[in-house]
Amino acid sequence: MSDHSSNGTPVPTDAPQFEVAARNPLRAEKMTAALFLLSVASFAGFGAAYWQNGSNFWLGGTLGFGMSFFGAGFVAWGKYLMPRGPFEEPRAMMETTPEEQKALIDDFASRGKVAVKRRGFIVGVMALAGGIFSIVALFPLLRSLGPLPKNAFYTTPWRKDAYLTQSDGRRVAVSDVPIGSFVTVFPQNDVGGALSQTILIHVQDGAIITKPGRETWGPDGYVAYSKVCTHSGCPVGLYEQLTGLLLCPCHQSMFLVAKGAEPIFGPAPRPLPQLPLYVDDSGYLRAQTGYDEPIGPGFWERGGTL
């Protein structure tokens, strides 16, 4: 801010521009002082809270309020108690004249031709360096796309004879789960694995409508489905025991447990893949084989409904 008027002479100190902006300066001053006082109180409160080992709530609250009032005080001071202006400072024009422009062009055209000669070999080598660099720079870019998935989309760690194992390492025996309950299980060599997570549900034996070819997959009313939703891969973990529905928390797909986990509502395009089970001689539940289809959401190579 310069205290000069538009004609370059200093603004007299009794000019209207030097009056404070507030209509009632005394009131504005009181208000500004009040803001700073609130700031003082808040900062003091912060000190007290710190000294008393106060919670983050009080530490952050007092510090935040203190800084807010501190800033508000400055803004109020600047807005209401400073000269209201406006003041102007003259400056020179910055446009170039047509003569100056013409002189620059002439100079460049005449002297430039002399300075930069045609050097074909150097130009070629320079282009080679630039070209090689552009190609090599692609390598890390391509590598950052990661390895090809190969058959990772098609298989899970579930194998023939794998034990159904809970997250705490317990193997599930046929007598462990009451009817109406469910357990999240993994193969024993991949406990906690995201691709392996499988929901084991004990329904009333005979309540299952078995799909052709799956007659032996659900012994004693136990059925196991991949917990990875066929829509976008969320864990389908909401089981309603009375309605026999599995719900996906992300997009509200509903799967009918008794009927091969067919989707009856929501965006899921396919049933959840079912894991074939059997009960071994010791009464433990085990997998007959791994999943017979890719689990989770669709992908291009899978074909069919994505």
**Of 48, 123, 127, 238, which one interacts with another protein (CB under 8 A)?**
238
Q: Write out the binding residues for another protein, residues 181-210 only, by CB under 8 A.
A: 181-184, 202
Show the beta-strand stretches assigned E in the chain.
164-165, 182-187, 198-202, 222-226, 238-240, 245-247, 254-256, 262-265, 277-279, 285-287
Residue with tokens 């422009």: 101
Give the residues across from 255 on adjacent strands: 246, 263
Using rule CB under 8 A, residue 169 touches another protein: no
**Min. distance of Cβ 219 from another protein in angstroms?**
17
**Of 30, 119, 170, 211, which one interacts with another protein (CB under 8 A)?**
170
Contact track, another protein, 58-77, x by CB under 8 A: ---x---x--x---x--xx-
**Min. distance of Cβ 245 from another protein in angstroms?**
5
Q: Write out the binding residues for another protein, residues 124-163 only, by CB under 8 A.
A: none
| Distance, CA of 88 to CA of 218 (rounded, Å) | 88
| Distance, CA of 121 to CA of 72 (rounded, Å) | 67
Using rule CB under 8 A, residue 287 touches another protein: no
**Min. distance of Cβ 256 from another protein in angstroms?**
11
Residues 38, 76 contacting (CB under 8 angstroms):
no
Backbone angles phi, psi at 171, to 5 degrees: -85, 140
Using rule CB under 8 A, residue 254 touches another protein: yes
Using rule CB under 8 A, residue 242 touches another protein: yes
Which letter does DSSP use for residue 104 in this model?
H
Which of the stretches 111-119, 140-148, 176-184, 286-294 binds another protein when contact is defined by CB under 8 A? 176-184
Which letter does DSSP use for residue 163 in this model?
B
| Distance, CA of 294 to CA of 299 (rounded, Å) | 10
| Distance, CA of 279 to CA of 177 (rounded, Å) | 14
Using rule CB under 8 A, residue 305 touches another protein: no
Using rule CB under 8 A, residue 301 touches another protein: no
**Of 9, 14, 23, 206, which one interacts with another protein (CB under 8 A)?**
23
Spacing of C-alpha 190 from chain mean position:
27
Using rule CB under 8 A, residue 56 touches another protein: yes
| Distance, CA of 203 to CA of 222 (rounded, Å) | 6
Residue ranges binding another protein (CB under 8 A): 6, 16, 19, 21-23, 55-57, 61, 65, 68, 72, 75-76, 79-80, 84, 86, 88, 90-93, 166-168, 170, 176-178, 180-184, 202, 235, 237-243, 245, 247, 249, 252, 254, 265
